[in-house]
Structure 1
Amino acid sequence: MRAVISEPHHIEWAEAPEPELGAGEVLLEPLAVGVCGSDIHVFEGLHPFVRYPVFPGHEVAARVVGLGTGVDPAWEGALVALEPSLTCGRCEACRSGHYNICDNLQVMGFQAPGAMAECFVSPTQNLHRLPETFDAELGAMIEPLAVAVHAVTLTAVQGKNVAVLGAGTIGLLVAQVVKAYGAASVEIVDPLEPRRRVAEILGLSAKTPDKAKYEVIFECVGNERALEAAIQGIHKGGSIIVVGVYGKPATISAGLIQDWEIMLKGSLMYTYKDYQEAIRLFAVGQVQGKPLITHRFSLQEVNAAFNAALEREKALKVMLARG
């Protein structure tokens, strides 16, 4: 059994063929799986890079329960976090170490089957071993934290005045990483009071949109209005990192990018070192994940979980777990 989004606005827990293990692959039982904003984009028919049916699940902590040929027996029973990027290893981006922008990138849960299932298959190279005492829900949140780590490492934040637009899961994690990396100040900007309240629980400053200016802005919303707000809110010579996923083209004040010498840069996913840093940040307590979890469901309750995630004023991280 596994979750399938057969078309926009339709997800169900359905029969699926038994997974087959190839060389270098392992069989995993998911312990905790997060519902991501990108999953909701797929559900709503707004993700630009998928074809239906889609088998979701890319934020996951799992237990290794079976080994394919050639796999080191030490993997048996391991607690792991999944890095869902499937890359070619041959293109220029892969050869230079930037495999997150592989020319042939596929992502488990989007272009390849994911982890919302009774069991699933992954290459061992996509697994990060976790300490046995590591909390499974935090293990599932390693993936979004790695997204945040990668974004923050794209520009200097130490000693800078920073804003994060959007107090969703990614925005709240980005803000915590920015704070951990020594920013002079970091403010979360979000119009929704419940999300600002979570930010404050995390020890972050949060406010509604205004006309303040910043040296660095992380755009974690993914729409035209937020990107334009970032351009209007940046100091001359400042940096904007675009982390939000866009479902359609955006019109922005491009003239200001040139005239103010704004650096506008996108951030996609992560690499191995970002995952390792995310594990460290959770392990030492520099980033909190638990306060972001607003809803919990069993794996079989995927329909209810996705509907809960659609209530954006109430939901942050929706988490699925084995029943």
Structure 2
Amino acid sequence: MKAVVLAEPEVLRLVNLPEPEVGPRDVLVRMRGLGLCGSDLGVYRGAREVPERPWLMGHEGVGEIVAVGADVADRAVGQQVAIEPNYCCGRCAACASGFTSACTARVIVGMNHPGLLAEYVAVPAEFTWPAAETVALEDLVCTEALTVARSAIRRSDVGPGQRVLVVGAGSQGLLLCLALRALGATVAVQEPHEGRADLAHSFGAETDAEGEFDLVFETSGVPQALRAGLARLRRGGTALLVGIDSRPLELTSADLVYHQHTLKGSLIYDHPVDFETTVDLLNRDDVRPGKVLQARFPLEESAEAFASVRSVAGKSWISFD
């Protein structure tokens, strides 16, 4: 089967690999689409270390089940599925409390476990989520990224009618705009890139809003952008940090205490509730995240796809069809 591997930083190669074996609790998925995000770009550029090279890339995968393991009773050949690419152990204290995003033994597909950028992948059945046939491929491709956005929203307790500022209108910020608007919140974006700001505006977000906000969602990972966002947060408001960066934040305890702000980190999602509810949302056609996709590439042009991630206003993806 065809697959794309990282030979060295910023060097991808199209190779032939053996088709994966299917364990008793696995399903074999014929891949149809794979979304790209900043985490993939970190691996691609060598900023995020992987166990070995060549390395199979990619984690935001969707496809069709073509075989099921002997012990799998609740998945069937022919189902289209979104893959949940963080396999929690189910045994540690965090998992026992439902806080699986903090699992101490989490398997992270494409990061510490081989990725999904291949024609066929074997996946634990528990971490595949069947979607209705009516869900368009483009919407399904956005499932994992949309789940990250909706998990941050769940953790924020934001409600209809509240004023929300999204800092950064990359793919994650755009999906937050869509999900927050669907919830009934009033949404504005803080984004210097004109193309991304225009795209957010087309999704119903304000780009020149004035005044204070009840909540801030920071997706850029840029410390200066967070500080500018907090300057717009009302006293007693909450900021959800989704973007990741290793640089120190430009904050003091006085900033937080005098304004009584709450800062909350939101990492991925919790199994199974967050993926399950996102797929249910797609099945009901309540939100169409596929409009975030702005650049489509075939598998053979994966190098061009990864190179486009920083420049494209919206989300890049790879199509296997």
Q: Structure 2-normalised TM-score?
A: 0.91
1:81-92 correspondence to structure 2 within 5 Å: 81-92=82-93
Which is worse superposed, 28-37 or 4-13? 4-13
Cα 1:52–1:260 shift into 2, 3 Å: farther
Distance 2:23 2:194 in 1: 48
Q: Deviations over 1:44-86 (max 9, x none)?
A: 2333x64443422221221111222212285222111111111
Structure 2: give runs of 5+ residues left out of the alignment. none
| In structure 1, C-alpha distance between the alignment counterparts of 2:205 and 2:35, rounded to whole Å | 23
Secondary structure of the residue aligned to 1:245 is coil
TM-align CA RMSD: 2.0
Residue 112 of structure 2 aligns with an amino acid whose one-letter code is: Q
Does 2:175 match 1:177?
no
State the distance in 2 between where 1:15 and 1:261 align. 56
Aligned to 2:247: 249
**SS of residue matched to 2:278:** helix
Structure 2 residue 321 is the aligned partner of structure 1 residue 320: no
Sequence identity (%): 31
Alpha-carbon offset, residue 3 of structure 1: 1.6
Normalising by structure 1, we get a TM-score of 0.91
Deviation per CA, 1:162-221: give whole Å up to 9, x if none: 1000111111111222222232x21011111111111122222224xx984322000011
Distance in 1 between residues matched to 2:247 and 2:52, nearest whole Å:
21
- Cα deviation, 1:130-171, whole Å, max 9, x if unaligned, reads 112221121111111101110001122223211000111111
Does residue 302 in structure 1 map to residue 302 in structure 2?
Answer: yes
Helix, strand or coil at the partner of 1:81: strand
Displaced runs of 4 or more, over 4 A: none
What number of residue pairs does the alignment pair up? 316
Distance 2:15 2:136 in 1: 28
**Pairwise mapping of residues 241-280 of structure 1 onto structure 2 (< 5 A)?**
241-246=240-245, 248-255=246-253, 256-271=255-270, 272-280=272-280
Pairing 1:4-83 to 2, within 5 Å after superposition: 4-47=5-48, 50-53=50-53, 54-72=55-73, 74-83=75-84
SS at match of 2:35: strand
Q: Secondary structure at the match of 1:291?
A: helix
How many angstroms apart in 2 are the aligned matches of 1:291 and 1:135? 11
Structure 2 letter corresponding to 1:134: V
Displacement of 1:7: 2.9
Gaps of 5+ in 1: none
Q: Does structure 1 conserve the Cα–Cα contact (< 8 Å) formed by 2:178 and 2:287?
A: yes
Please state how far the C-alpha of 1:264 moved relative to its aligned partner: 0.6
Rounded Cα–Cα distance in structure 2 between residues aligned with 1:5 and 1:42:
9
**Correspondence for 1:150:** 151
Paired residues of 2:199 and 2:313 also in contact (CA < 8 A): no
Residue of structure 1 in register with 2:165 after alignment: 163
Task: Report the Cα distance in structure 1 between the residues aligned to 2:233 and 2:52, rounded to whole angstroms.
Answer: 39
- Aligned residue type for 1:261: Q
Tell whether 2:234 aligns with 1:232: no
Corresponding residue of 1:104: 105
Q: Which amino acid aligns with 1:197?
A: D
Cα separation, 2, equivalents of 1:98 and 1:178? 23
Partner of 2:200: 199
